[in-house]
Structure 1
């Protein structure tokens, strides 16, 4: 989904706008690859430290310690992360911004710290994961828009970057909800490992009610955004109401009554679909604007 999201913004949005871009197609492919490799490395290191928790929460999907050894997992983590960061160094020099390489190091370090310590801190781990996902949207602008920005196209590039930020905010809000829902689902295993997640601290029921309340924030954000920027684009408005707003309202209603792990798992998957359809809306917006024009 991470790669798909970044490709959607490049080929379903930027390319349609007919603007200069800093990276060639193959270089942009390397940016996507770097992001995915670092994220995959974070996933591996998280699985290494979550072996006992996963044995309780999702025993059928345990890989580390079962399909591959812990040593092999560490080697895989190092290989993925080092390769991803090395590609980041290369791309930073390609756009003559060598200092930007620190971004990849920072993200990789944050993923490691999340797996080893931040994940155990109430809400901190949830916020970090949501921020990292939203940053994967912002990094597109940093490497593809910013270096190609000149005085004559500064206003247009600024507008496109602000749209990227709007989508990053949307991704953050949806993924934060999803991370908390996943914590509710994984309460038993997390409790046995001495973690201090929100459901462990205040209980599943109270946490579910908090998520219910928080879900109104992205809902109002999207409705406000539609009313202010998209209402004149009929097809986009219908798309957003049908594929983003309606599922989010359904999520909010179900969140109030959800009590079982099966229900929370379904709601977690639903949020992933809402995120996907939300990101796809940028293509719908581009096409609708093109045909209107």
Structure 2
């Protein structure tokens, strides 16, 4: 009995590893904070949190992204055996057959749940599921296009809630572009980290085709553009106390730029990638700074 329970727990943890629960949690948090503080800032936060349609959109997002991670895990097996053998051991506790049925179940659930919203919602999530699969199967092997597509797919869930609230605020698009650039930088760094596996399996990534120096140059250009976007946000939008984040993030990215110039091996690139993860996490939490009074004064049950 004890061993059966332990085996079941290990399988659950393995599946959580495959679908990257921390990443999904951050996306859900970002969707709700964006809804409360940008897209439906005029509404009571409690009404937003208890909005059934928004909840379904979030569930569909979770299902689509989780299934995407499963597809990615399937196609990346050989590469992970070279780049991340320890994680692969954990992921393989769950059989490929189980992962396949979880993948099918998640996608069916997404389509079923989205049908309660509208046909357009079904079309949106079906398209999203397809492009995640197509990215994992084909696009991710293409130089730069693969990196940019991954970043674009990561911000796509925000367009789902944008379409729902029909609040086409320019701020959300500039925010989205800022996040897109940060994610693109992170994807290029991941290509540098995974270069051994990509080279062995003949993936046509930027580092494989053009080398480390050129990849660093592209990342440096993206960092420069990102700092420019931060400047635009600070001077052309009413961000209130969120200005603090964008000023700080510009300094932070310049710090990363100098770290990147000195980076020489996988350990250095991993460190920089972790710094970017921290920036993304703080960026999500800092959405609250757009209107702290919503948290302090306006929540009523």
TM-score range normalised by the length of the shorter chain: 0.7 to 0.9
Q: CA deviation at 1:269?
A: 1.9
The reply on whether 1:2 has 2:19 as its aligned counterpart is no
1:211 positional shift: 0.8
Aligned-partner SS, 1:91:
coil
1:193 has 2:193 as partner: no
What's the TM-score, normalizing by structure 1?
0.84
DSSP-derived class of the 1:62 partner: helix
Q: Determine the structure 1 residue equivalent to 2:267.
A: 262
Cα distance in 2, alignment partners of residues 14 and 46 from structure 1: 31
In structure 1, what is the equivalent of residue 103 of structure 2? Answer: 77
Confirm whether residue 252 of structure 1 aligns to residue 252 of structure 2.
Answer: no
1:211-251 C-alpha deviation (Å, 9 max, x unpaired): 122211011110222022248x3x33234323x22221211
- 8 Å contact kept, 2:39–2:162: no
CA gap of 1:65–1:169, structure 2 versus 1, over 3 A, is: closer
User: How far did residue 42 of structure 1 move?
Assistant: 0.5
| CA 228–202 in structure 1, closer or farther in 2 if over 3 Å, else same | same
In 1, Cα distance between the equivalents of 2:232 and 2:172?
A: 17
Please tell me whether the aligned partners of residues 56 and 189 of structure 1 are also in contact (alpha carbons under 8 angstroms): yes
Greater CA drift, 64-73 or 202-211:
64-73
Comparing 22-31 with 200-209, greater Cα deviation is found at 22-31
Q: CA RMSD in A?
A: 2.5
Q: How many Å apart are 1:114 and its aligned residue? A: 1.0
The correspondence for 2:223, drawn from 185, 194, 215, is 215
Structure 1: 5+ residue stretches without partners: 93-97, 147-156
Give 2:247's aligned residue.
Answer: 241
Corresponding residue number in structure 1 for 2:278: 273
2:170 counterpart residue number: 162
Q: Supply the distance in 2 between the matched residues of 1:24 and 1:72 (Cα, whole angstroms).
A: 33
Counterpart CA distance in 1 for 2:287 and 2:52 is: 22
**8 Å CA contact 2:260, 2:272 repeated in 1:** yes
TM-score, with length taken from structure 2: 0.82
Determine the structure 1 residue equivalent to 2:211: 203
Aligned-pair CA distance for 1:26: 2.9
Give the Å deviation of 1:15: 5.0
